[in-house]
Amino acid sequence: MSSTPPAAAAAAATNNNSASSTATKKSKSSPAESSSSLAPLLRHFAGIDIVVETKQGRTFRGRLSEADACMNLVLDLRRRGTTRRASSSTIPGNAEGAEDGGGTTATFDWVHIRGPTVRYIVFGAGVDVVAVVKAGRDRERSAGDRYRRGVRRAPPK
């Protein structure tokens, strides 16, 4: 038989359950924070030509300009070379009586693709994915080291 009153034992059990659930909540991380998913690693691929296919079936070829932890992408669709011709994309429209099936062709220099709409990302055959990610992590680590060194220094008088 326990020497603690039943109400105190119930309160202790409740506190233990809430503490364990809090610890469980803290240990879980979102996919955006996990380094095992592609989303947080995409920022290291800035400046590399990629092909992105969306769930709507559109395909974009361009140079990755920006990427965030939610896999939102900004692609530079301008051609690299002597001609500065922008890429075009067919946008479905609902214009009645249009001869081209209701779609219009628009020209974009940049495109923003929301992360949840991405189906596939294809890197070029010449891209060494492991080396790019390692170089990006080293670059971030050295930037963090420079920041920490700068914070520790006393301001000049």
% pLDDT > 90, the chain = 29
How many CB atoms lie under 10 A from the CB of residue 102? 13
- Tens digit of each residue's pLDDT (9 = 90 or more) over 17-68: 444 444 434 444 444 444 567 888 898 898 899 999 999 999 999 999 999 9
Q: Is the pLDDT reported for residue 86 higher than 60?
A: no
pTM of the model: 0.56
Nearest to 54 by CA among 108, 115, 103, 109: 115
Q: Could you state, in order of their start, the residue ranges of all structural domains in the chain?
A: 39-151
Concatenate the DSSP letters of all residues of 15-62 into one string: HHHHHHHHHHHHH---TTT-TTSSGGGGGGGTT-EEEEEETTS-EEEE
- Tens digit of each residue's pLDDT (9 = 90 or more) over 56-80: 999 999 999 999 989 999 999 987 5
- Tens digit of each residue's pLDDT (9 = 90 or more) over 107-132: 788 999 999 999 999 998 888 989 99
Q: Which residue(s) pair with 83 in the sheet?
A: none
Nearest to 90 by CA among 102, 105, 69: 105
Q: Which residue(s) pair with 73 in the sheet?
A: 67, 113
**CATH architecture of the domain with range 39-151:** Roll (2.30)
> Exposed, middle or buried by CB within 10 Å (0-12, 13-18, 19+), for 67?
buried
